[in-house]
Amino acid sequence: MAFGMGELLVVVGLVALLAAWKAVKDPKMRTYVGVGGLLASIIGVGAFGAFGLLQAGDGGEAPKAAGLWTVVILDTSDTDRNEASELLSADLHTITYSLGDADFDDVGDVDINVRILNVNAGLTTSIWVGEISIVSVGTILVSGIATPIANYTADLSRFAVTYTEDAGDGDVVQTGPKAYFTATTGDLEDVSLDMDTSDAVMDDAAAGNQVSLVYNVGGITITCVMQDNGAVT
């Protein structure tokens, strides 16, 4: 097998170390040669991965979450009330609803539908796992106290969010406020992120108020913005 730069540095470094202890008589020169040889070996391993040392095993280093998936919001997303307008950002990572005052106050469930595409390189039979979690829940001042717009579960353990599979070859498993989804290489998974909002909290919003729900889906930030446009409906 041909040696690369890393392997050559390691070999030269080891030879220098051996020469320092066996052939060089002057103590100071022995130190210089020995240190130089040691540094060459370390650089060969650390910087060039000589002989496969310090490299990951089969499959390489696990890809970062943001590199595993592309995620877009689908226009099937909806709230329980009529929206005056619905705007999707150019990257399809943010959806903005403008609602009249009465609809904003009673918005109910906010159902964000996302399409997650597995962009990993691998066998078409390989199964990959991603995660969905809540990044932040908007607040509205209620009697002067910033109060989350989302309802809680019956046991008050978490926000009342439900993650369900709409389409795809994988599975969606919810664990508390998080969910884990699977998809084979190159395939997709459509998932619904359904948050139950509090009418009592939303009702305290002033005209022009804007609140948001933010999720992390496979490393991609997904945002739903709701604006009270002040219109009486």
Q: Are strands 210-217 and 127-137 parallel, antiparallel or unpaired?
A: antiparallel
pLDDT over threshold 90, residue 201: yes
Q: Tell me the whole-structure pTM to 2 decimals.
A: 0.70
Nearest partner of 83 among 63, 100, 108, 106, judged by Cα:
100
pLDDT tens digit string along 142-200?
998 999 999 999 888 899 999 999 998 889 999 999 999 999 999 999 999 999 999 99
The pair of three-digit structure tokens given for residue 66, joined into one six-digit string: 């943001």
At residue 228, does pLDDT exceed 60?
A: yes
pLDDT of residue 167: 92
Could you tell me which residues come within 8 angstroms of residue 12 by beta carbon, excluding any fewer than 6 positions away?
37, 40
Compute the mean pLDDT over every residue in the chain, rounded to the nearest whole number.
81
Distance CA 208, CA 9 (A): 66
Per-residue confidence (pLDDT) for residue 219, from 0 to 100: 92
Helix axes 27-46, 5-22, angle to 10 degrees: 160
Of residues 121 and 5, more confidence is placed in 121
Residue 19: count other Cβ atoms within 10 Å of its Cβ. 14
Residue with tokens 């998809």: 183
- Where b means 16+ CB within 10 Å and e means fewer, 122-144 reads eeeeeebebebebeebbebebee
Which residues have CB under 8 Å from 94's CB, separation 6+? Answer: 73, 88, 222, 223, 224, 225
What are the backbone angles phi and psi of residue 70, rounded to the nearest 5°? -110, 140
pLDDT value for 231: 75
DSSP line for 119-167: ---S-TT-EEEEEEEEEEE-EEEETTEEEESB-B-TTSSSB-EEEEEEE
**What pLDDT, on a 0 to 100 scale, did the predictor assign at position 156?**
82
Interatomic CA distance for residues 160 and 199, integer angstroms: 13
Give the tens place of pLDDT for each residue, 107-128. 999 999 999 999 988 888 888 9
Is the pLDDT at 28 greater than 90? The verdict is: no
pLDDT tens digits along 38-62: 555 555 544 444 444 444 334 344 4
